[in-house]
Chains A and B, each alone.
Chain A
Amino acid sequence: MPLLQVTGLSKRFGGFVALDGIDLAVAAGERVGLIGPNGSGKSTLVNCICGTLVNETGTVRFAGEVVDGLVTHERTRRGMARSFQLPRPFGTLTVADNLRVPLLYTVNARRRPALRGAELEARCIELLMLVGLAEKAANLPRDLTQVEMRKLELARAMAAEPKLLMADEAMAGLSQSEVDDIVTLLIRLNERGITIVLIEHIMRAVMRFSQRLVVLVSGKKIADGQPETVVRDPVVERAYLGQ
């Protein structure tokens, strides 16, 4: 049984069809790349899966349970986490406190006894060490560089101890070495057992990261398979890669 199963999902904005009958299955532990030109519906799909947007038709199943009708925080508590295309840190909270929030509200909601005091502190530091931000624990997000902000975004998603992480353009605007840094981090997270769907434009990163590649164009899924096979697919080349 797949961890995430999307069936016949559609979303419209007025007359514009953003998603048109999307079917997608992601197995537990998989690393899936989701690509497509701007406006193809990638972020809309993530928003519908996470509950930020309500889909008109179709069903989202997570860990065997239909999650349609659940609001975002309820889906997060069931094990779905996401990072945002543009980092959205809690600006008035320190870097460590940014991680404290999902620990308090998501992890503690399903854990008895709840994390408190020193244990909570230690978990924050552990996560910050994982992404290389331990020294910035007491800083405010505005003191971070662009790549550090991306790492904070991923660490905050990780703090919710998710089964599935959807990383929406986690590398946009980063240099080549910074992109490598983030890909390495994502692979390391996957090795810890987290299923990851990476939405990205940077093909080098997508090819290095993905075990499977899904292509969206104009709200429709046009390809789904091995990355090497998908990028050589003439339909994908014509629609997306422009070759």
Chain B
Amino acid sequence: MQNGIFLLVSLVVAALVFFAARALNNDYIFFAGYTVLQFIVLATAWNILGGYTGYVNFGSAAFFAMGAYASVFFHKLYPLPIPVLIVIGGIVSGVVGLGTGYLTLRLRGAFFAIATLALAVVLQTFVVNWDYVGGSRGAYIIRPNQSPLTGPYIHYLFLLMLVLVVLALACARSIERSQLGYGFATIRDDELAAEASGVPTLRLKLIATTLSGALMGMAGAPFPYYIGYLQPSSAFGLEYAVNSIAMPMIGGTTSWVGPLIGAVLLGSLQQIATVTISSAVNLLIVGLLLVGFVIIAPSGIVGLVQHGWPRRSAK
């Protein structure tokens, strides 16, 4: 399917989802759905770097939080429409991604992962000590009750996140089927051989960190308006880092559809657990599923569908 047709189909599906949710006439659907959609964007963004190039990023929460705090900053400085804040959040986190890439891309494997984790700690410390955006106290964002476009404001946020999902999926899918996608795959498989085949690995890694960071920042930008009160511990929450990794791994990292499946599955399970048991079990669910998939189906659900159950090697 051509990228343009895919985009068109995705927009139609997104419109159907939106109107189906409205037909249910229950705001909780929008609150829960927003979180699931947000995780689709985060998981897709993580997968551009972690899945396509094989560089595991443990600092997703930092990129997400940069987008969120960029919104808080501008909300206090000069309130702007959320679509503009999403673009700003994308630019801020994209620049942070580029910087991270530039500083860390000589690192590989566990060293790169640890460096991204350290980045999250450094940025959280920075935000905790930045009074203008609320510091450790956090910041209140009073959002309007109604949006002229959709009525209830949560419907508007849900719609924006749906558009972001379409954008993120279209971006991931077009990368996958492009020269850039081949380049990313060679970096994942063998960097030395990639260079010997003419692939400019450093440049491609910088593109991956920038794109991935920018999409995470875009996912984070509307978050203060969703949550109403943003504090460092919620923006830099462990759940963002863990879910961003677990969702693509459970869904499958080699295809754009993997993070989508993983995020819908895990995100929905977490929402169900939140209302039926407790939100405290969310990370437990993620942990158990992740361990199970790593053992039983290391290529995720997409791998299972494509290649069936992995054969056990003879002892």
Contact = CB atoms under 8 A, between A and B. Distances in A.
Question: Does B associate with A?
Answer: yes
Interface of A: 50-52, 71-73, 76-77, 81-82, 84, 88-93, 97, 100-102, 104-106, 108-109, 156-157, 159-160
B87 interface: no
A50 to B, nearest CB: 7
A101 B199 contact: yes
Given A73-B198, A76-B198, A101-B199, A52 B183 contact: no
Given A102-B197, A104-B179, A92 B192 contact: no
A182 B32 CA distance: 61
B199 A88 contact: no
Interface string B178-197: 01001101101110111111
**Residue from B189, B195, B198, B201 whose CB has the most chain A CB atoms within 10 Å:** B198
Listed from nearest, the 4 A-B pairs whose CB atoms lie closest are A106-B198, A72-B195, A105-B198, A88-B193
6 contacts: A71-B202, A76-B195, A84-B193, A89-B193, A90-B190, A105-B199
Interface of A is mostly: helix
Contact of A92 (B179, B183, B185, B200): B185
Contact of B189 (A81, A90, A105): A90
Contacts of A51: 195
B254 interface: yes
Contacts of B183: 101, 104-105
A92 B196 contact: no
Interface string B124-136: 0000000000000
A199 B273 CA distance: 62
A122 B185 CA distance: 22
B198 A92 contact: no
A71 B195 contact: yes
Nearest to A106: B198
Contacts of A156: 193, 197
A100 B199 CA distance: 11
Nearest to B254: A92
A88 B198 contact: no
Given A77-B198, A84-B192, 17 more contacts: A51-B195, A72-B192, A73-B195, A73-B197, A73-B198, A73-B199, A82-B196, A89-B189, A90-B186, A90-B190, A91-B190, A92-B185, A105-B198, A105-B199, A109-B198, A156-B193, A160-B197
